[in-house]
Amino acid sequence: MSENLDQNADIDTLTLEQARGELERLASEIAEHDRRYHQEDAPTISDADYDALRLRNAALEARFPELVREDSPSARVGAAPSEAFSKITHKVAMLSLDNAFKDDDVRDFVGRVRRFLKYDPLMGALAVTAEPKIDGLSLSLRYERGKLIYAATRGDGTTGENVTANARTISDIPQVLTGAVPEVVEVRGEVYMAHADFQALNTRMAANGGKVFANPRNAAAGSLRQLNSDITASRPLKFFAYAWGDMSEIPAKTQLDMVRIFESWGFVINPLMKRCESVEELLEVYHRIEEERATLGYDIDGVVYKVDRLDLQQRLGFVSRSPRWAIAHKFPAEKAFTILNDIEIQVGRTGALTPVAKLEPVTVGGVVVSNATLHNEDYIKGIGQDGEPIRGGKDLRVGDTVQIQRAGDVIPQIVDVDLAKRSEGAEAFVFPTLCPACGSHAVREENAKSGRMDAIRRCTGGLICPAQATEKLKHFVSRNAFDIEGLGDKQVDAFYQDGLVMAPADIFTLEDRDKQALTKLRNREGWGAVSARNLFEAINARRNIDLNRFIFALGIRHVGEGNAKLLARAYGSWGVFSDAMIAAHDKGGDAWTDLNNIDGIGTIVADALTEFFAEEHNRAQLDALVKEVSPRDVEKIDASGSPVAGKTVVFTGSLERMTRDEAKAMAERYGAKVSGSVSKKTDLVVAGPKAGSKLKKAEELGIEVISEDAWFERVEGS
């Protein structure tokens, strides 16, 4: 993390020359990220990291105005970049909706409403509206004296992103409202992309070599959240108005009349909205809309019912984050039949053989599906995880007509197979017992805990297996491991195939070999002198790395980020850790006991670690690697003197001096355990502004609650 530290070096301490260099670096780095984001639609850093770069640039420019560059990022992105993703706190929270799935859930909803209001049948019909639930993203538009002031996404419901410049490019969103309009108006609705526009956009993106969007919702979200509003303007977004937030005056008495007024102000409202007087009528509308769904030209995922009278809405109010007066009746997950063309076996980093269904492409819920995971060989046979039959015990055969289901963003599943359509000669699938990548035996081990055979068959080829080796390398350079920019899956495959990088250490000798003209990266297809230099820089920047990341990067089975952190903290340095892992192979010795005594590390993890270190070829690779890379020792803080050592701490509310991750790391550094929920076992709650139920619970249980500043004071004395 030294690179990060350097990057965040306190701006006040920089010399003029350092600041000049820093601004140059930021200008080129931000320009590169802009290019990836806007032109390739393939950003390589998170929005938060990107924002941090821009903020640092702005802070440096504020301190050294004389150094502002001609090509400064703050001058470049046309439309108010600093504002692009600033935050807006909603004056009235943006809520979500409770869901109904069955007709009876809708009857229950209406019954609940009636009971709550004591609205008995003698009082007549209870009017409820029904309208499509648009599958897009919600947006709140604030108008003052009829003029659009800002547009904010829903965010977490309390605070959203300021996307005003982008919203202004959407033609369904009026800049100025027409007619008699209250002083303050907040109209809310859904931004979405129509099917035809989505197809055309994807065709265009593909033709330009960019990535395509999986579905119209993602396309709408990606387009609205562009930093450059010119890009948003080029994307065909639409908007339906259906709700409101802060209003200086409510101009109607019912839901339906409100949206009709929105229409008179210049908004587009959904033409299918209807006022109903009984549950049966609501269900009729639901089924009619469901039938029309495929021909609407945009995605919807259900029907929303709302109590029509606003005075009743007011009385009904909210339960936690959803109104009592509305509910979303969702459509069942979409299903479609298609042909199972093939079953392909992929080999993962740990040697797991995963079968993947290659399907005749079919559209389900607006997404073209051509692959579906088949999990393991039992799954293909019709046996579930618990040994019980799935799909009525029907197996899957190549050539079968299968039914696939896709619900929301969930990966598609094969839920059924039509046996009537199975051809006579169709043979049961024979799962390979040899690895398709290297030919080594692939075996199912016995699960130590359950005594049952593991559902996963694994290649025993280890490092001689090219699939395992490349998957390991991809893991090694991945974001939460070494995070080497410019070394993506494609490059790893190509370098491996050409023998340039066969093991992690080879990455770090690339530059030397290149200098000796052994590799000549710049002569490779798609590579030039600049990209080669950038890659070497990215690699060199990682020659120092935190011990936990280093351990995680090794891709040892069962050692994820969490366990890697536990190990790093327990052993402190690479030398101590690796010696201990080698020694722990002797299960009668102290090293094994120590390893198992680490809170959070169980025997399965301990076994995986000692087995990994017992393999000579793994040790040889590690020796080569630590000649190139120096894992940083874990900063030792004498937790015995720490006032929070051994305590269980909960952070709640918004923290202002550190991120959640930082808070967690800090607490752990001082020997505390961090928990996500408050219970009797909690020792301390650190509460920032807007703390809610956790704070309340802590108070009820009489647990000590302190502020974020008090937390710093207590653990660091500052």
What is the identity of the amino acid at 145? R
Minimum distance between the CB of residue 369 and ligand IVH, rounded to whole angstroms?
24
Output DSSP code: residue 305: E
* CB nearer ligand IVH, residue 7 or residue 96: 96
CA nearest to 189, candidates 125, 250, 262: 262
- Kindly report the backbone phi and psi dihedral angles of residue 145, in degrees, each rounded to the nearest multiple of 5, phi listed first: 45, 45
**Long-range Cβ contact pairs of 201-204 (< 8 A, separation 24 or more):** 201/235, 201/236
Output DSSP code: residue 523: G
Q: How far is it, in rounded angstroms, from Cα 527 to Cα 533?
A: 10
Q: In this structure, are residues 475 and 349 in contact, taking their beta carbons and an 8 Å threshold?
A: yes
Q: What is the DSSP string of 416-440?
A: EE-GGG--TT-------SB-TTT--
* CB nearer ligand IVH, residue 324 or residue 458: 324
Give, as ranges, the residues between 560 and 599 that touch ligand IVH (CB under 6 A). Answer: none
In 182-326, which residue ranges form alpha helices assigned H by DSSP?
A: 195-207, 216-224, 229-233, 255-265, 279-292, 310-316
CA nearest to 559, candidates 345, 266, 349: 349
Minimum distance between the CB of residue 295 and ligand IVH, rounded to whole angstroms?
18
Q: How far is it, in rounded angstroms, from Cα 580 to Cα 612?
A: 13
Q: How far is it, in rounded angstroms, from Cα 644 to Cα 667?
A: 8
| Contact letters for ligand IVH, residues 289-308 (x by CB under 6 A) | ---------------x----
Q: By CB under 6 A, is residue 27 in contact with ligand IVH?
A: no
* CB nearer ligand IVH, residue 269 or residue 649: 269
In 317-410, which residue ranges form alpha helices assigned H by DSSP?
A: 377-381
The CB density around residue 450, as the number of other CB atoms within 10 Å, is: 9
How do 630-632 and 544-546 pair as beta strands? parallel
- Which of 26, 79, 97, 568: binder of ligand IVH (CB under 6 A)? 97
Query: Interface with ligand IVH by CB under 6 A: which range of 92-100, 229-237, 416-424, 695-703?
Result: 92-100
CA nearest to 50, candidates 307, 226, 201, 185: 226
Minimum distance between the CB of residue 192 and ligand IVH, rounded to whole angstroms?
9
Number of residues that bind ligand IVH (CB under 6 A): 15
DSSP helix/strand/coil, 575? helix
DSSP helix/strand/coil, 413? strand
Q: How far is it, in rounded angstroms, from Cα 421 to Cα 212?
A: 34
H-helix or E-strand spanning residue 344: strand 334-347
Minimum distance between the CB of residue 272 and ligand IVH, rounded to whole angstroms?
10
| Contact letters for ligand IVH, residues 314-333 (x by CB under 6 A) | ---------x--x-x-----
Q: How far is it, in rounded angstroms, from Cα 190 to Cα 517?
A: 57
* CB nearer ligand IVH, residue 326 or residue 352: 326
Q: By CB under 6 A, is residue 464 in contact with ligand IVH?
A: no
Minimum distance between the CB of residue 96 and ligand IVH, rounded to whole angstroms?
4
Give, as ranges, the residues between 230 and 289 that touch ligand IVH (CB under 6 A). Answer: 242-243
- Which of 19, 95, 333, 665: binder of ligand IVH (CB under 6 A)? 95
Minimum distance between the CB of residue 205 and ligand IVH, rounded to whole angstroms?
25
Q: By CB under 6 A, is residue 96 in contact with ligand IVH?
A: yes
* CB nearer ligand IVH, residue 96 or residue 440: 96
* CB nearer ligand IVH, residue 304 or residue 442: 304
Give, as ranges, the residues between 114 and 133 that touch ligand IVH (CB under 6 A). Answer: 131, 133
In 119-193, which residue ranges form alpha helices assigned H by DSSP?
A: 164-167
How do 128-134 and 99-100 pair as beta strands? unpaired
Query: Interface with ligand IVH by CB under 6 A: which range of 33-41, 91-99, 342-350, 596-604?
Result: 91-99
Minimum distance between the CB of residue 217 and ligand IVH, rounded to whole angstroms?
10
Minimum distance between the CB of residue 242 and ligand IVH, rounded to whole angstroms?
4
Q: In this structure, are residues 586 and 592 in contact, taking their beta carbons and an 8 Å threshold?
A: yes
The residue number with the shortest CB distance to ligand IVH is 138
Q: In this structure, are residues 374 and 398 in contact, taking their beta carbons and an 8 Å threshold?
A: no
| Contact letters for ligand IVH, residues 152-171 (x by CB under 6 A) | --x-----------------
- Which of 57, 129, 138, 621: binder of ligand IVH (CB under 6 A)? 138
* CB nearer ligand IVH, residue 139 or residue 568: 139
Q: Given the residues 91, 102, 118, 133, select the one marked as catalytic.
A: 133
Output DSSP code: residue 37: I
Q: How far is it, in rounded angstroms, from Cα 718 to Cα 713?
A: 5
The CB density around residue 320, as the number of other CB atoms within 10 Å, is: 8
* CB nearer ligand IVH, residue 321 or residue 533: 321
Minimum distance between the CB of residue 171 and ligand IVH, rounded to whole angstroms?
20
Q: In this structure, are residues 423 and 399 in contact, taking their beta carbons and an 8 Å threshold?
A: yes
Please list, residue by residue across 504-535, b when 16 or more beta carbons sit within 10 angstroms of its beta carbon and e when fewer do.
Answer: bbbbbbbbeebeeeebebeebeebeeeebeeb
CA 482 to chain centre: 20
Minimum distance between the CB of residue 324 and ligand IVH, rounded to whole angstroms?
10
Minimum distance between the CB of residue 385 and ligand IVH, rounded to whole angstroms?
31
- Which of 134, 167, 237, 510: binder of ligand IVH (CB under 6 A)? 134
Task: Work out whether the CA dihedral 452, 450, 567, 613 comes out positive or negative.
Answer: negative
Respond yes or no: is residue 253 known to be catalytic.
no
* CB nearer ligand IVH, residue 191 or residue 473: 191
87, 92, 96, 98 alpha-carbon torsion, rounded to 10°: 160
* CB nearer ligand IVH, residue 83 or residue 156: 156
* CB nearer ligand IVH, residue 189 or residue 412: 189
Query: Interface with ligand IVH by CB under 6 A: which range of 62-70, 94-102, 482-490, 694-702?
Result: 94-102
675, HSE (Cβ side, Cα atoms, 13 Å): 15
Active site residues: 133
Please report, as ranges, the residues that interact with ligand IVH according to CB under 6 A.
95-97, 131, 133-134, 138, 154, 190, 242-243, 304, 323, 326, 328
